[in-house]
Structure 1
Amino acid sequence: MDAADNAAPLLSRTPSAQLPHGKAPEPFLRPLMALGTVARLTNPSLWDAITTAILRQVVRAAQARKVYRRWCAEHGRSVDTPAGPMAVPPDPRTVLRLPDEAFADAGAKFHRTALQAAATAYQHNHERWAAMSPDELVKALDEVPRIGPWTASAAAADYTGDFSVYPHGDLAVRTWARAASPTVILPDDERGFEARWRRWAPDRPQLHALTLFTLTWGTHARTQHNGGTAPRHP
């Protein structure tokens, strides 16, 4: 994939004090504050972050996770980790050599052209992209055909750990925001929701915290619903 395959991921910590107290309604913030400090491992591989975001296009999160695992298992390679062997996505060169049916067999037929375009662009730009700020990275990725602003923002947030650039009108954010505090009325449409979100968190650290805590709350809720005990952060 890239040199980050063997790099240790950075651990970022975001305290609940960074949430937009005094701007967002306290009933909404209360369940988020109960999380305390959110610790998240930043994705050390930009190519993995791009691949993950592309495979999340159009499909639901649960289906995207299945496709990602199958894509890695069938066409990627195994990497030894402290938790045991783990399959990682095929590198850009491998992606560009795969026949069309390989994408379909892995459940990624819809994503084929986006993965191929991203692989081509990554080979030419990955060193420059890796040195960019989160905002610059979003803009650069958005220029790749078939990537689009949602995918660019999701990949940049995953790689940089800065969730102020995450697509804040995303269905996952809207779903978990409503679930965390059902009594707080939020706009139904994506643009209206994002505008409200930014009014609640007008500065970058608060926007990062509000988004990260909401997604983390949802991950905890999903884990508990599935009978798990160990939370997994977004």
Structure 2
Amino acid sequence: MNWTMLDHPGWDTISDAAPVRAMRAPAGTWLLTHPDTTTLLGGDGAAPTLDVYTPAALHDTPLPAELRTALNQLGPVQRWRNADLWEALATAIIRQVIRAGQARKMHAAFRTAAGQAAGPTALIPTPEEVLALSPEQFAALGMAFKRRPLQAAAAAYLAHRAEWAELAPDVLVKAVQAVPRIGPWTAGAAVADYSGDFTLYPFADLAVRTWAALADPATTWPTDEPSFAGLWQELAGPHLSTLTVLTLAWGDHHARTDQGSTHH
């Protein structure tokens, strides 16, 4: 069975049930149930896209032996592509400068307190809902420092969503950086989540560097972003998206199995 990534903080685990996630699509709202089930909650239209990334695509790349072995052992990886650009932007802003575990808790609290219920979980608040929240409401959620970037992104999304929907991912990642507090990391993480193209992800960030080093401790990996980025691109060649996703998936697998999870 393919490994399904649960890296997005929108995934909730309720009691002992399989993880679930609610996602807006252009014509409807969907409930995703791990690993690959979709249920239409409202509206119509096509279900979100489940992208698959396979280690076989890396067979002709000059990967270090231990990293290649680690990724091969993981096997094909599937990841739900985010059908909602607004949620991808808001999620990337929530993830800014905090640890993954803290971002997951904040994301869940924000959805529960200010978003719309969707089956057993909740959706991220809409841009309109975010703009209506007061400073006091953000502060009560421990999100005072997220208010300005989230509200700036909400206003920009409402103003530009039709235009942004027509842009190719490599153009979109530049366009959204016109929004205050959205820099290259946030833009790259959001558009990769939205497009499934992880050549746009900030592939030299701490997460990728950490998981590469843990998957392959025999290699002396550069610790600074520019040097790591250069080496990563050299190793990946034309398969940068696949290598980056699989390494993030290895980290997702490592973190979840360390916590006793066996979901695939």
Q: What is the TM-score of this pair, normalised by structure 2?
A: 0.81
Structure 1, 21-30 or 190-199: larger mean CA deviation: 21-30
What is the CA–CA distance in structure 2 between the aligned matches of 1:2 and 1:54, rounded to whole Å?
20
The one of 36, 47, 53 equivalent to 1:8 is 47
Shift of 1:19: 1.9
State the AA in 2 paired with 1:40: R
Shift of 1:3: 3.2
Q: What is the TM-score of this pair, normalised by structure 1?
A: 0.91
State the AA in 1 paired with 2:80: L
Matched, 1:40 2:73: no
Q: Give the conservation status (yes or no) of the 8 Å contact 1:177–1:214.
A: yes
The one of 168, 175, 182 equivalent to 1:140 is 175
Q: State the number of aligned residues.
A: 225
* Counterpart position of 2:113: 74
* Counterpart position of 1:149: 184
Greater percentage in helix: 1
Shift of 1:134: 1.5
* Counterpart position of 2:8: none
State the AA in 2 paired with 1:134: P
Shift of 1:24: 2.1
* Counterpart position of 1:119: 154
State the AA in 2 paired with 1:225: D
What is the CA–CA distance in structure 2 between the aligned matches of 1:126 and 1:78, rounded to whole Å?
24
SS at match of 1:230: coil
State the AA in 2 paired with 1:110: F
* Counterpart position of 2:262: 229
What is the CA–CA distance in structure 2 between the aligned matches of 1:33 and 1:198, rounded to whole Å?
19
Shift of 1:38: 1.1
Q: Give the conservation status (yes or no) of the 8 Å contact 1:43–1:158.
A: yes
Unaligned runs of 5+ in 2: 1-23, 30-45
* Counterpart position of 1:179: 214
Residues 176-209 of structure 1: per-residue CA shift (max 9 Å, x gap): 1101011011001112111111111122xx1001
Unaligned runs of 5+ in 1: none
Q: CA RMSD in A?
A: 1.5
Q: Give the conservation status (yes or no) of the 8 Å contact 1:73–1:87.
A: yes
State the AA in 1 paired with 2:233: R
Deviation >6 Å, runs of 4+ = none
Greater percentage in strand: 2
SS at match of 1:8: coil
State the AA in 1 paired with 2:153: A
